[in-house]
Amino acid sequence: MNPFQLNRRNFLYGLGSSLGSVAFSKLLADQTDIRNKPEKTPRAKACIMLFMEGGPSHIDTFDPKPKLDELHLKQFKIESPRFSGMSRGNRFYVKSPYRFKRTGENGIPMCEHFQHLSDPEVADELCVFRGCQVDSVNHPTALYQMNTGNRLGGDPAIGSWVTYGLGSENQNLPGYVVMTELAAPQGGSGNWSNGFLPANFQGTLLRSKGSPILDLNPPSWKSRQHQRANLDVLNQLNRQSLKNHPQHDDLLARMDNYELAFRMQMEVPGVVNIEEEPEAIRSLYGLDRPETSAFARQCLMARKMVEKGVRFVQIFSGGWDSHDFIERAHKKRIQSIDQPIAALIKDLKARGMLDDTLIVWTGEFGRTADNTVRGGETAIGRDHNNKAMNMFFAGGGTRPGIVGATDEIGQTAVENVHPVRDVHVTLLHLLGLDDNKLTYFHGGRFKQLSQFGGNLIDGIIA
C-alpha cells in the first residue's frame, strides 16, 4: 500500500508517484471539484508572471539611492574571502543615470522611463517588495531558483505547482503557458519544467510566430477534416487493442488524449489571435508602437488566456543584464514593457478581473551599486547582486505600497528580508494554496515548492 494514509488531504495533494499514472489521472479527473477548492479563502485564481531575465537593476527602477550620486566613480572596496570577478581589482560606485519621481498616493518611486506605470491609477495598484534575496549570483541557477525553488534545476516550476494545486478550468487549453521574447532564457525549458510532477503540468511554450504550440496542426496539405477521418479510424484500431488488452488501463487515457488534442487545435488559435481586439485595446497595450508591440502582444494574449481559464501565464523579457551602458540599455528595456504592463493592469481592472489575477514582476536577482573597468573603460553598469533586488505584485489580493528596504546604497536588503522560498510561499498563499500542503511524494519524501517550507511575507497580503 501507499506509504501514507489516503485521507482527504493526502488525496488532494500528496498523491505520490507510487500510484500508477493511470490511477493518478483517474483520481485527478474524479477529484477535480475537491482539488479546485483550495485550503484557505481563495483570492487569486490565476497568475501572470512577468520575468525580466538578466536581472533588472532595483537601483534604476523602483529603489532609488541618492547616496550613490555622492559616491559616483569613487573607489569601492570589498573585503571578502569569496574571491571572484566581482571582488577582484578596483571597483567604483555607479550612480543611477535616471531621475526618479514619486507616484500616486502611495508614493512609490519610479524611474523617469516608467511613463505608464507611474499613472496613479496603476501605480497605486502596485506592491513593491525590496526584501528578497536569492542564493546564486549566476543567471541559470538564480533563474531556476526563482522559477522552481531549486537552484540546481530539475524540480517543478511554480506554474506547474499552481496548476497541479488548482487544476484546470479549461480542459482544452494548457493550464500553464510560457512565452519568451526573442530567445529562450538561460536554462531553457528547465525554467518551466514539470520536474517530478506528472507531465501534463509542464509549462507549454506558446510561440509568437508559426504554430503557437509545436506541431499543433497537421501539415498545410492535410485538412482538419482529413485529420478527423484519420482519428476516427485510429479510434477503431485502438478500440480493437482495448479488447486485446482489457487489463491495461493506460490505453483509455491515451485514447482520450487524441480527442483532447483535437479540441486544443480548435481552441488555441482563438486565444492567440489578437487581431480582432478593438482598436482601443490594441492601442492601450501599445500594439501599434514598434518598441512595445512584442511585449504588448504577449500581455494581451495573457489576459485573454486568463479569461479563458488558463491558470498560470509566464512571459519572459530578455536583455536586462546591464553590466555596461546601463543608461541606454535599461531605458530601452523599461520602455518595451512599461506601457504593456500598465495596460494589462488597467484592462484587468476594467474587466473586474484584477482581484482574481495576481501579477508578478521580477527578475532572477538585482544588481550591484558598483562596477569595474571593462575593455579599458569605466563601464557604467552593474554586476549581479543576490542580496538585493526588487519585484512588484499587483492584484490578486496584494496590498499596494512598499514592503521591505535595502541599505543606503542598495547593496543588501535590510528590512523585511526574505529568501526566495518565502516569496514562493506567499505567492501560493495568494492563490489559495498552502505550500506545506501542496506536496508531491517523490524520491522518498514529500516535496514542495519552497523545498523545506517557508514563511509568509508580512505586508504583501491585503
Partner 1 sequence: MKTATFLTLCLIILASSCLPAAGQTDLNSDRQDELFTLQVLPLLKSKCFGCHGNDPDNLKGEYDLRTRSSALEGGESGGPAIVPGEPDQSPLLEAIRWDGLEMPPKENDRLDEQQIALIERWIESGASWPAESTQAEIRKKQWSSPDPTDGIRVKNSGGLADEWTYRTYPPEDIWAFQPYETTQLPAGHQHPIDAFLQTKLETAKIEMAPRADAATLIRRATYDLTGLPPTPEEVAQFERASRKNQTKAWNDLITRLLAKPQYGERWGQHWLDVVRYADTAGMSNDYERSNAWRYRDYVVRSFNQNKPYNHFIIEQLAADDLVREQEKSEDGKNFNGYTIAPAEAQVATGFLRMGPWEHTAMSPERVSRQNYLDDTVNSIGQAFLSVPLRCCKCHDHKFDPIPTRDYYRFYAALATTQPAEMKAKFLASENRDAFEEERTHVQALLEYATTEQNKLYAKREAAAKKWYEERGIPDQYKPFNERRIQGQQKFFANGEEAQIPPRFIGLTSEEQGVLKVREGETRIWTRRLERFEPLAQSVYYGGDTLLNSRKLRPPNTKNRKLMEQHKTLPLSHIYEGGSVESLGDPVSPGVLSSLQVATYSGNEQEPYSLPQAMDRRRVALARWIAHPENPLTKRSIVNRIWQYHFGKALAGNPNNLGATGKKPTHPDLLNWLADDFVNNGWRIKRLHRLIMTSAAYQASTRHPNAKQLETSDPEGTLWAVFQPRRLSAEEIRDTLLAATGELNLAVGGLPARPEINLEVALAPRMVQFSLAPAYQPSRTPEMRNRRSIYAYRVCGLPNPMMEVFNQPKPEESCELRDSASVSPQVFTLMNSDSVTKRSIAMARRLTADADSIEERVRRGFTLLGLQSPSPATVQLLVDHFEEMKKYHTENQPEPREYPVRLARSVVEEFTGEACHYIERLDIYENYVPDLHPSDVPPETRALADICLLLFNSNEFIFVY
Q: Which of residues 106-165 bind partner 1 (CB under 8 A)?
A: 137-141, 152-154
Site string for partner 1, 202-221 (x = CB under 8 A): x-x--x--xx-xxxxxxxxx
Q: Got the DSSP string for 252-276? A: HHHHHHHHHHHHHHHHHHHHH--TT
Report the DSSP beta bridge partners of residue 316: 51
**325 part of the interface to partner 1, by CB under 8 A:** yes
User: In angstroms, what is the minimal distance from the CB of 392 to partner 1?
Assistant: 20
How far apart (Å, rounded) are the C-alpha atoms in residues 385 and 142?
Answer: 11
Q: Which stretch binds partner 1 (CB under 8 A): 60-68, 79-87, 349-357, 399-407?
A: 79-87
Place of cell 527602477: 61
Q: Are 201 and 163 in contact (CB under 8 A)?
A: yes
Which of 29/229 has CB closer to partner 1?
Answer: 229
Q: Which of residues 333-352 bind partner 1 (CB under 8 A)?
A: 333, 336
User: In angstroms, what is the minimal distance from the CB of 433 to partner 1?
Assistant: 13
User: In angstroms, what is the minimal distance from the CB of 289 to partner 1?
Assistant: 14
**92 part of the interface to partner 1, by CB under 8 A:** yes
Amino acid, single-letter form, for residue 415: E
Q: Which of residues 162-181 bind partner 1 (CB under 8 A)?
A: 181
Selected from 332, 350, 408, 458, the binder of partner 1 by CB under 8 A is 332
Which of 215/279 has CB closer to partner 1?
Answer: 215
User: In angstroms, what is the minimal distance from the CB of 443 to partner 1?
Assistant: 6
Sign of CA dihedral 132, 138, 143, 148: negative
Four-CA torsion 9, 11, 14, 16, nearest 10 degrees: 170
How far apart (Å, rounded) are the C-alpha atoms in residues 436 and 444?
Answer: 16
Q: Specify the long-range contacts of residues 107-114, CB closer than 8 Å, at least 24 apart.
A: 108/62, 108/401, 108/402, 109/62, 109/63, 109/64, 110/61, 110/62, 111/60, 111/61, 111/62, 111/64, 111/334, 113/330, 113/331, 113/334, 113/335, 113/338, 114/61, 114/334, 114/338
Site string for partner 1, 404-433 (x = CB under 8 A): ------------------------------
Which of 72/332 has CB closer to partner 1?
Answer: 332
User: In angstroms, what is the minimal distance from the CB of 256 to partner 1?
Assistant: 8
Q: Are 193 and 160 in contact (CB under 8 A)?
A: yes
User: In angstroms, what is the minimal distance from the CB of 342 to partner 1?
Assistant: 19
Q: Kindly state the helix (H) or strand (E) to which residue 28 belongs, with its residue range.
A: helix 21-30
Q: How many residues bind partner 1 (CB under 8 A)?
A: 120
Four-CA torsion 403, 404, 410, 412, nearest 10 degrees: -150
Selected from 303, 331, 382, 418, the binder of partner 1 by CB under 8 A is 331
Residue 354: all three cell numbers together: 484584477
**227 part of the interface to partner 1, by CB under 8 A:** yes
Selected from 78, 112, 224, 241, the binder of partner 1 by CB under 8 A is 241
Selected from 322, 398, 411, 416, the binder of partner 1 by CB under 8 A is 322
Residue 394: all three cell numbers together: 499587483
Q: Which stretch binds partner 1 (CB under 8 A): 59-67, 114-122, 229-237, 402-410?
A: 229-237
Q: Which stretch binds partner 1 (CB under 8 A): 26-34, 40-48, 351-359, 371-379?
A: 371-379
**226 part of the interface to partner 1, by CB under 8 A:** yes
- Helix axes of 21-30 and 250-272: crossing angle, nearest 10 degrees: 60
**377 part of the interface to partner 1, by CB under 8 A:** yes
* Chain-centroid distance, C-alpha 85: 30
- Helix axes of 250-272 and 293-307: crossing angle, nearest 10 degrees: 130
**321 part of the interface to partner 1, by CB under 8 A:** yes
User: In angstroms, what is the minimal distance from the CB of 348 to partner 1?
Assistant: 26
Q: Which of residues 247-286 bind partner 1 (CB under 8 A)?
A: 247-248, 250-251, 253-255, 257-258, 260-261, 264
Q: Which stretch binds partner 1 (CB under 8 A): 162-170, 391-399, 416-424, 437-445?
A: 437-445
Four-CA torsion 163, 117, 135, 461, nearest 10 degrees: -60
- Helix axes of 224-244 and 250-272: crossing angle, nearest 10 degrees: 160
